[in-house]
Amino acid sequence: MSFQPQRVVVERGHRSGVPIVVAVHSTVLGQAIGGCRLAAYPDWRDGLDDALRLSAAMTGKAALAGLPHGGGKTVIALPAGHILTPARRRDALLDAGDVIAGLHGTYATGPDVGTGPADMVTIGERTQHVFCRPAEAGGSGDSSPHTAAGVLAALRAVAVERFGSPDLTGRSFAVLGLGRVGTHVLRLLASAGAAHLVAADVDPSRREVAAEYGATWTDPHDCLTAEVDVLIPAALGGLLTPDTVPRLSCSAIAGPANNQLDVLSTADLLHERGILWAPDVVVSAGGIVHAVAAELHHETEAQISARIDGIGDTLAKILHAARETSSTPAAAATRLAEFLASERTASMLAAC
Ligand SMILES: NC(=O)c1ccc[n+]([C@@H]2O[C@H](COP(=O)([O-])OP(=O)(O)OC[C@H]3O[C@@H](n4cnc5c(N)ncnc54)[C@H](O)[C@@H]3O)[C@@H](O)[C@H]2O)c1
């Protein structure tokens, strides 16, 4: 996906004095969507680079999720070492809301690193183009059960590709990270009849959750290298590296953690080792699909469930294409995203 944006706005927030960057990468498929990141940068131009890169990635994510949206991103670029008081933080969010309002609906925002659902209520004081607000504020609430449902749909597609059946009964899984999404995934796997579950978290209090669903508790390193059918990364990104890949003992990897590969070429290392890696950009989409479909399109729960199940269908297509072309699923996902988000495909579909 090219980083070349459709539109970029950079403004110094008139309340906070902090640089606000909004990058609209593409509106070919519809309104651009993408979270609002609030983070410190050595220079505001680094925040601009982040917005350009992340907005392009969102175009791919939205297209692969089957959403009628393009990609965008907001970055509130704090100077390094800058401490925001709660009042200044609120000012910065209101400033971001004003910049988004000025785009007149070409872009809508949600939470990202450094912001959460409650912050979307603050941004929503200045613009209606916001999603992922808490349920008590009229939003769609906690996204994690929906992200987990998308992971399950992806795991069934992986099981078909690797083991010839979507049935998860009798299969073994290692869940690395028992936070909001990991806990739901563990619960869904236990009720799907998984034969052997391994789980780990750096937080020892999560051990009780593992026990509740009959999972063997282990430390994060042993979970990463566990001999299981599928490893499910559900903690931080960047865990698949040239150092960790040779130590893996799983047959496949599919989980919600964002940016699992340290660099794209690590997908080749997984491929060479015969480990099937399901791209996280597809697997992790259930939460955003739910929020966008519920809050921006007012779809019914049945329509949204069908969309989330569709994550499995899209992944199946990608895994099939990767096999047919002897390429990695990462490369096949990029090709599919570029095809779906292209002007040519959009105008062909519009003509049908
Ligand atoms: N919440 C969502 O709907 C959603 C949507 C898309 C993607 N994701 C991604 O999925 C992942 C999990 O999200 P979440 O909402 O469950 O986050 P969370 O913060 O609730 O849970 C993450 C868990 O991982 C644990 N952890 C952190 N470092 C670890 C390590 N090195 N080893 C083992 N455990 C570790 C934490 O203690 C925590 O329990 C994140 O990468 C997130 O970006 C989440």
Is the whole-model pTM more than 0.80? Answer: yes
Instruction: Give the pair of three-digit tokens for residue 64.
Output: 């692969």
CATH code, 41: 3.40.50.10860
- Structure-token match 């699992």, residue found: 260
Whether 343 is covered by a domain: the verdict is: no
In this prediction, residue 1 carries a pLDDT of 67
Mutate to test the pocket of ligand 1, among 113, 120, 147 (most ligand atoms within 8 A of CB): 147
| 167 pLDDT above the threshold of 70 | yes
Structural domain of 103: 7-57+70-137
Residue nearest to atom 38 of ligand 1 (CA): 179
In this prediction, residue 352 carries a pLDDT of 67
Distance CA 163, CA 280 (A): 20
Looking at residue 11, its amino acid is E
Which residue, 137, 164, 183, sits at the end of a domain? 137
Q: What is the pLDDT of residues 271-283, one digit of tens each?
A: 999 999 999 999 9
Residue 73: exposure state from Cβ atoms within 10 A (0-12, 13-18, ≥19): buried
Residues 6+ apart with CB under 8 A from 29: 62, 63, 67, 68, 69, 70, 340, 341, 346
Distance CA 220, CA 138 (A): 38
Q: Which atom of ligand 1 is nearest the CA belonging to 259?
A: 41
ipTM for this prediction? 0.99
Same domain, residue pair 153 and 112: no
Same domain, residue pair 41 and 167: no
Same domain, residue pair 132 and 261: no
Same domain, residue pair 199 and 223: yes
Residue 101: exposure state from Cβ atoms within 10 A (0-12, 13-18, ≥19): middle
Length of the chain, please?
Answer: 352
312 is in an annotated binding site: no
Which residue, 93, 108, 137, sits at the end of a domain? 137
Mutate to test the pocket of ligand 1, among 132, 181, 184 (most ligand atoms within 8 A of CB): 181
Between helix 301-325 and helix 329-340 the angle, nearest 10°, is 120
Reference 131, options 287, 23, 22, 291; nearest CA is 291
